[in-house]
Chains A and B, each alone.
Chain A
Amino acid sequence: DAKTTQPPSMDCAEGRAANLPCNHSTISGNEYVYWYRQIHSQGPQYIIHGLKNNETNEMASLIITEDRKSSTLILPHATLRDTAVYYCIVRVVSYGQNFVFGPGTRLSVLP
């Protein structure tokens, strides 16, 4: 699976959009981009995933660049409850394989 690079930490004002970047310059054509987050002392929570096209759900939007070498997770109106560690993971669809978690980005939403 391709390696990802994320900033270790970010701050965001409550009510503003939080834009979390992820670089995956070695991504291959059959690898998806997944985003999870982990709120303190809880298990990771699935947010969104995509292959080529931008994706949106009730939690967030995922913007993938045309060359697929980077992506951005957007939380449109961050709340204090969005404070968490956000993990960007790229991987092929492989039903017997686990997810490999890097250090992620610690997002702090400030009042």
Chain B
Amino acid sequence: GAVVSQHPSRVICKSGTSVKIECRSLDFQATTMFWYRQFPKQSLMLMATSNEGSKATYEQGVEKDKFLINHASLTLSTLTVTSAHPEDSSFYICSARDGGAGDTQYFGPGTRLTVL
């Protein structure tokens, strides 16, 4: 199946700093990518939909100025957590739709963010 990578897999940062997470589709082009967040023992919650070449669409309650999303190419989307705080500590997961495989979406391995 199609492969989606994320980098870094784990990051620890101090409160107030910004963290960038990359999501790449390795063997297919993705016009749409999604960013999810998962807290311990909970299911994935959609944060935003990222469309190549246009502004991201954020879910209700997700601050667009805090979670900056850039989807500059068909294989790369980035999520930047600005001025991170301990409550932003979570597991961040991206997914990408393989346009050549119908509506099937493939997920990255996730990024564990810990804000001290």
Contact = CB atoms under 8 A, between A and B. Distances in A.
Interface residues of B, number: 27
A42 B109 contact: yes
A68 interface: no
The number of chain A residues touching the other chain, given as a range, is 20 to 34
B78 interface: no
Interface in B1-60: 1, 4, 6, 32, 34, 36, 43-44, 46, 49, 51
Interface string A78-111: 0000000001000101111011111110000000
Contacts of B107: 36, 43-46
Contact of B32 (A91, A96, A102, A103): A96
How would you classify the secondary structure of chain B's contact residues: helix, strand, loop or mixed?
strand
A98 B46 CA distance: 8
How would you classify the secondary structure of chain A's contact residues: helix, strand, loop or mixed?
loop
B110 A95 contact: no
B95 A98 contact: yes
A93 B102 contact: yes
Given A46-B105, A96-B49, A101-B44, A41 B95 contact: no
B73 interface: no
Contact of A44 (B49, B93, B97): B93
